[in-house]
Structure 1
Amino acid sequence: MRSALGSAVVVLVLLVVWEGLHLAVSNSGLPSPVATLVRLGVLLGDADFWRQAGETGRAFAAAVVLSTFAGIGLGILLGMNRTTGAVAQPILVNLYALPKVTLYPVVLLIFGLGISARIAFGIMHGMIPLTLFTMNAILNMKPVYRRSAAVMGLTPWQSSFYVVLPAILPEVITGARLGVSLCLLGVLIGEMFAARNGLGFVVMQAMERGDMPSVLAVALLLAMLALVVNAALLALDRAWRR
C-alpha cells in the first residue's frame, strides 16, 4: 500500500507539473494532459493504430527474447573466467558508450528495411547491459559456490545452469529490467529512422504534421507499457530474492 501510494503521488505531481508547463507555454506546442489523454483515446479506437502497434510489439518481443538469452549466455561465458571478464568489461563498456545511431547504416545494409533491422537495433541496445550485469555478478559471486561445484564434479554446463545462474538471478533480473526498456528504445529509434510502419513511424509522421497531441499520446502509451513491464519484472525480482 505504501508503494502504491508513493507511485500515485509521483504520478499526480508529474501531471501537475505537466499542466503547469502547458499553462506557462500557453500554445499548442505542449498539449495539456487532458488533451493528450483524449487524443490517446482516439488513437486507441483506430484500427490502423493497432496495426502499427502490433508491428512494434512483434519487433519488441523478438528483440527482448533474443537479447535476454544472448546477454545472459555471453555474460556467463565471459564471467566464468576472471581474466576473460577483466579483458571484456572495458570493451563492452566502450561499445555501449558508442552512439548506436552511427551503426544504423551498417544494420540497414545487412538486414534491409524490414523488421529484422528493428529487431537487430533493439538487441544492440538491450544485450550489452544484461551481459555486463551477468558477468559482473559472476565475478563478484562468493567463491564457495564454484568451489563446491568443482568438488561435486559438475561439468561447466551443469555448474553454470544449476549453481551460477540461480546464485546471480537477482542481478540478472535487474539487468533484464534495464535491457527491456533499452530494447524498446532501440526498436522505436529504428522505426523512426527507416521504417514504413510501427509506432516510431507514427511519431515521425505526427512530428512532420506538427501534431503534438499525437506525439505525446504515443509517448504516454509507451511510457505506461514500459512501467507495466518494469513493475512485473520488479515483482518477479522480489519474489525470487526471497
Structure 2
Amino acid sequence: MSTLLSSPLKPAHQHRKWSDGALLVVALLALWQMASSLLGAEVLPGPWLTFLKLKSILSDDDFPDNLRVTSVAFALGFAISCIGGVCLGLVLGARRLAGDIVEPILMAFYAIPKITLYPVVLLMFGLGLYAKVTFGVIHGIIPITIFTMNAVRNMRPVFARTARACRLSPVAYARYVLLPAAVPEVLAGLRIGFSLTLLGTLIGEMFASQSGIGHMLMIAMGRNDSQTIMALASLLFIFATVVNLALLKWHQRLVKAP
C-alpha cells in the first residue's frame, strides 16, 4: 500500500525540484541583467554579452591549451588533496590524542591567507605545474582532513570494539571499518575541498604561471576587460556547480542508503 502511494508522488516531487531550479536560474539571470542595466555594460556585462564573449573564447585557438593546463594542475591537486586529506583524517580521527594536538595547528594554518605563501612556493617550485598544484593542495587538503577526522570521531563505538575483537590490522581497520563508516561526511568534505582546490589552482595560475585559465583572468584584469572576466567566471561557476551537484546527489544517496 505504501509503495502504491509513494510511486506517483516521486515524479511529482522530481518535477517540482526541477521547476524550482529553473525558477532560481531565471531569477538569478534577471537580477544579473538588472544589475548590468544599473551599473552599465562596461562595469558589469549582462548575461547575453557574457554568453557571446564566452562563445568567442571557447572558439579561440589558444583556449584548448589553456584549458588543458588548468585541468591537469587541478586534477593533480585535487587527487593529492583527496588521498592525503582522507588518509590523514583517518589517522587523526583514530588517534584522538594526535587529533587534539594537530587540529588547532591545521586550523591556524588554514586561517593564514594563502597568497602570503606565494614567495615561498615560487622559490621552491618556480613558475610551472608544481607551483599551481601546491597552491591547490594547500587550499583543499585541510577541509577534507577535518571532515574525515570528525567523521571517524563520531563513528559508533561498537565498530571499533568489533574491529578489536576481530583483531584487524590497522590497514584492514581503516579499509573495512573507518572509511565505510565515514564516507558520507568524507563526501561533504570533498565537496568543499573540490571548490577550494579549484580556487587555489586558479590563484596559482594567476601568480605563478604563464598559461591557464587563471593566467587568462590575470591578463583580463590588467586590461580591465570586464567581458572576459565575467565570461571566464561564468564558465568556472557552471563547472563547479555541476560537479558539486553530482557530489551532493551521491552524498544524499549514501545517507539514505540502509
User: Same fold per TM (> 0.5)?
Assistant: yes
Quote the residue 1:55 is aligned against: 69
Quote the residue 2:162 is aligned against: 148
- Distance in 1 (CA, whole Å) between partners of 2:167 and 2:208 is 52
Aligned residue type for 1:47: D
Q: Are 1:118 and 2:132 matched, yes or no?
A: yes
SS state of the match for residue 30, structure 1? coil
TM score, norm. by length of structure 2: 0.91
- Runs of 4+ off more than 6 Å: none
Of the three residues 127, 142, 148, the one matched with 1:134 is: 148
- Distance in 2 (CA, whole Å) between partners of 1:186 and 1:45 is 26
Q: Are 1:65 and 2:79 matched, yes or no?
A: yes
Of the three residues 87, 98, 103, the one matched with 1:84 is: 98
TM score, norm. by length of structure 1: 0.97
Q: Are 1:30 and 2:48 matched, yes or no?
A: no
- Distance in 2 (CA, whole Å) between partners of 1:10 and 1:95 is 37
Q: Are 1:238 and 2:252 matched, yes or no?
A: yes
- Offset at 1:231? 1.4
- Offset at 1:27? 4.3
Quote the residue 2:228 is aligned against: 214
Change (3 A) 1:222 1:27: closer
SS state of the match for residue 29, structure 1? coil
Of the three residues 176, 183, 189, the one matched with 2:197 is: 183
Q: How many residues align?
A: 242
CA contact under 8 A between 2:50 and 2:231: conserved in structure 1? yes
Structure with greater Cα Rg = 2
- Distance in 1 (CA, whole Å) between partners of 2:246 and 2:197 is 16
- Distance in 1 (CA, whole Å) between partners of 2:41 and 2:168 is 67
CA contact under 8 A between 2:136 and 2:201: conserved in structure 1? yes
Please give the per-residue CA displacement for 1:176-205, whole angstroms capped at 9, x wherever unaligned: 010011000000011111210000110111
Unaligned runs of 5+ in 1: none
Q: Are 1:12 and 2:26 matched, yes or no?
A: yes
Please give the per-residue CA displacement for 1:79-114, whole angstroms capped at 9, x wherever unaligned: 111111111111111111111011111111111111
Percent identity over the alignment is 45
- Offset at 1:221? 0.3
- Distance in 2 (CA, whole Å) between partners of 1:27 and 1:139 is 51
Aligned residue type for 2:245: A
Of the three residues 164, 173, 181, the one matched with 1:159 is: 173
Of the three residues 200, 210, 219, the one matched with 1:205 is: 219
- Distance in 2 (CA, whole Å) between partners of 1:233 and 1:239 is 10
CA contact under 8 A between 2:144 and 2:189: conserved in structure 1? yes
SS state of the match for residue 168, structure 1? helix
SS state of the match for residue 62, structure 2? helix
Please give the per-residue CA displacement for 1:108-167, whole angstroms capped at 9, x wherever unaligned: 111111111000100000000000000111111111111111011111111111001000
Aligned alpha-carbon RMSD (Å): 1.0
